[in-house]
Amino acid sequence: MNTEKLVVSYPPHWHCGSSISSKNYQIMLAALPAVIVGVYHYGLDAARVIAFSIACAMIAEVLVNLVTKREISIYDGSAALTGLLFGMLVPASTPWWLVIVGTFLAIIVGKQVYGGIGANPFNPTLVGFAIVLVSWKDILDFDEALLNYDTGFIMAYPLASLKHFGVAATAKYQLLDLFLGRQAGGIGAACGLALLLGGIYLILRGFIRWEISFSFILGVLITALFFNISNPEKYASPMFHVVTGNVLLGAFFLATDDTTSPVNFVPMLIFGAMCGFLTVLIRCVGIYYDGVVFAILLMNITQPLLDRIRPKALGRVIQNA
C-alpha cells in the first residue's frame, strides 16, 4: 500500500529560483532611498522610529514563535519588512509606545493569528497602522505631529489643507516640490521620486508585477480627474493626488504584497484600479485625509473573489518520456 504523504502549503507553488527572504530584503533595499530622504528631513527622530519599528516587529514575531512553539521565522525578513513599512507610514514624532502597539498588532493580529506568512487575508502593516490611526488619530495628525520641525519647506500636510480649505489652499505647494519629498508626511512616504525609483527597481528585478502599481496610479488619476472636472474649486488635480500622501508607497510597496493581492493579470488590473478609485473617493468624500490604507485593506477582502476571474495556472506540465 502506498503511504507516501503529500505536503500541502499555501499558494503560489511555482518556484522561480528566488526565496521569500531574498525578496523581502530586496524590497527593503528598494525602500531605503525614501527612508534616507525622511531621515534627512527629520533627523535622528526619524531614524529612531524606523529602527525601533523594525526591532519591535521582529521581537513580536519571535515572541509568537516561542509561545506557539514554532520555528523562529524572523530570518525570512517578513517581520523586518513589516516594521520598516510601518515606520515609513508614521511621523517622525511618533511616541515609542505607539510604535510598539502598532507593530505588535501588525505581526500578531495582522499575520500570526492566521497562521503566519502566506495565510493572512490582510496586509499586516496596514492592519497595525489602521488600528492605531483610528485609535490615536491626533497623534498621527501630521499637522500637529510635525509642527515643531524646521525642514525648510511648508510644514502643513497638503491633503489636510485640501480637505479643510479647498483647492485654493494648495496653491502654495509646487508639484515638483511635493514629488521630491518637500512635504509633511510619513517618514518614508513623502518622497515620490525615491518611491518611484524603488518601485521601478522591484519591477525590473521581477520582485513585484507592474499591473497592480500601474492600475493603482491610473485609478487615482482617472477618479481624481472626474472629481476635479465636477468641481475644480473643491477637488484637486489628478497629479496633486498622485504626489501627495501614501499613493506611491501604496502602489509599489503595500498593494503589491503577494499574499493579499491577486496573482492573475486581469484581477491584478481590477485590484489596482479599485484601490486607486477608493483612495480618491475616501479623500474627497470620507473623513480621513488619505484613503490609501483603507482602500487597500478593503480590496484585500476581494482578493480571493478576484482571482476567480479567468483563473490561469502558473508554470508548465512536465510529461514523462
Q: Which domain holds residue 270?
A: 151-305
Q: Are residues 193 and 119 in the same domain?
A: no
| 12 is a domain residue | no
| 113 is a domain residue | yes
At 2, list the grid cell.
Answer: 502506498
Q: What is the mean pLDDT of the chain?
A: 90
Task: Choose among 227, 209, 206, 320: nearest CA to 277.
Answer: 227
∠ CA 171-172-177 to the nearest 5 degrees?
Answer: 110
Using 50, 70 and 90 to split pLDDT, how confident is the model at 10? very low
Name the domain count of the chain: 2
Q: What is the pTM of this model?
A: 0.89
| 8 is a domain residue | no
Task: Choose among 240, 246, 223: nearest CA to 168.
Answer: 240
Q: Are residues 94 and 181 in the same domain?
A: no
Say whether pLDDT at 7 is over 60.
Answer: no
| 164 is a domain residue | yes
Q: Are residues 249 and 201 in the same domain?
A: yes
The predicted structure's pLDDT at residue 147: 86
